[in-house]
A and B are shown apart, each in its own frame.
Chain A
Amino acid sequence: MPARGYHLSKDELGADILEVAMGPHHPSTHGVFRMDLKLDGETVVDLKPIFGYLHRNHEKLAEDIPYLGCMPFTDRLDYLCGMTNNWAFALSAEQLIEIEIPERAQYIRVICAELTRLINHCLLVGFFINDLGALGTPLLYALREREKILDLFETLSGARMMVNYMRFGGVRCDLPDGWLQECERIVGRFPAFLDEYETLLKDNEIVITRSQNVGVLTQEEATNFSITGPMLRASGVNYDIRKVDKYGIYDRFDFKVPIGAHGDCYDRFMVRMLEMRESIKILKQAIADIPEGPIMGNEPRVFKPDPQETYGRIESPKGELGFYLIADGTTNPYRYKVRPPSFVNLTALRHMCIGHKVADAVIILGSIDIVLGEVDR
C-alpha cells in the first residue's frame, strides 16, 4: 500500500516508479532549475527538465531601447561572465555599423575575456566537486581565486559582476594605473593554484569512480545536440570559435585546445582545468604585447544601422554565445535574439541522465555548467 501523497506509477514489471520534482528549490540545481525525475529505486528512468522560473523578458525588452542601452542587460545573462556577454553583443552590433576597433581595446577585450574564462572554469570545477559531495572545500578555494579577479574587474569597471564595460568600437574606459601589473601578478600566481587544485582532485579515487563514464556523450551525439564549448571538446570534437572564427585578435596568440576522448563528466571537468592553463598562456602574451593608444573608435552613441540581419558569436566560457540582430533602420533593434550556450547544452541532459543514479543526475547537470540567468533570459 503506497503511502498517501506519493504519485506512483508502475513500470512494466509492476514495480513502483517514484516521481520526484527536483527543484526549483534544491541545493544543487544551480539556481531555479527543476528536474522532474522518474526513479526506479535510485535509477533515473525518465527526466524532464523544466525551466523558465527566471524568465525576465530579456529579448523583448531589448526591442524598445537603443542598441547601446541593451549592453547592461547582457551582463545579467550569464551573471558569472559579464565581460564575454558584453563582447558577444558588441561584436554583433559592430558588424551592423562596421567600425574599426583600436588595437589597445582589442587587447583589453581579450584580457577581460580570458580572465572571465578563469573565473567561470574555476567556479564550475568547484561547484562540480561540491555536487560530488565534497562539502565546498574546493569550491571555497575557487571562490578565493575568483575574488582576486573580481577585484581586478572592480578597479577596471566599477562593478564586480555587472561590469557593463564594452562599447561598440572599443571599451568604456582605459586601464587604471598599475592595473596591468596587478593583473600580471595574479595571472602569474594562478598556475600554482591550478596545481594545488589538480593534486587535490585529478587523481582522487572517489572523483574518478564517481565521474568517469558517467553521462557519456559521444562525438556524434554532441554534434547532433549542437553542444558547444568545453562540453563539445570533452566529447572529442575540435571546435573552438577562438580558433575557427579568429574573432578579435585571437589569431595572434599561441594557444592550444584541449580535447577529451570519452565525453563523460571527468573529461568535461579535466578539459576545463586544461583550458584554464591555455587561458593563462593567452593572458601572459596579451599582457606582454598590449600597446598604448586610444581605446574607442569614434562612432556616435546612438546610431541607425541600415536594415540588415547579423549574427555575431564568440567562444564564451560555456560555449558559443551568439547574438542575432535584425536592424530595421531605427535606433532600436527590430529583433534581438540570444543563442545561450548553456541553454542549448542543457538539451542533452535527459539523454545523458537516463540509466544513471540520482546522484549522477546531479553531477551531470553540474558538468554541463548552466547559469539560469542565461537559460531562462
Chain B
Amino acid sequence: MECTSRKMDKAVVIQVTGRMDAVTAPDFDAACGAWIDQGETRLVVDLTALDYISSAGLRSFLVVGKRLKGSGGTLALSGLDGMVREVFDLSGFAALFPVHPCPETALEALG
C-alpha cells in the first residue's frame, strides 16, 4: 500500500494505492496522523486506486474520523468502487463519512 498526499487550499488529499489490511493500515494511520498533528482538520481520502480493504483498514478510517471529529474536522472519501465500495456499504461505513465520486467534488462539497 502507498499513500500520496497533496495539500490543497481547502483540505489535504490523500491518495491510497494497493491493499489496505492489518499489515499496511498502520502506514495509513501514520500518514493521516502526521497531517492532523500539523493542524489539518480536513482530509479527503481518495480510494480510486485501492484494490482491497480488510476490517483492519476500516478501523483505520474509524480512528482517523474520530480524531478529526474531536477537533471539529471532517474526513471525506472519494472514488469508492468495486470490492471497496461493497465493503464500505456492507459495514455501513459508507454512511459514516461523506462519500464523493472524485476528490474535486469532495473539495467542492467542503465549501
The judgment on whether A and B are partners is no
Residues of chain A whose beta carbon lies under 8 Å from any beta carbon of chain B: none
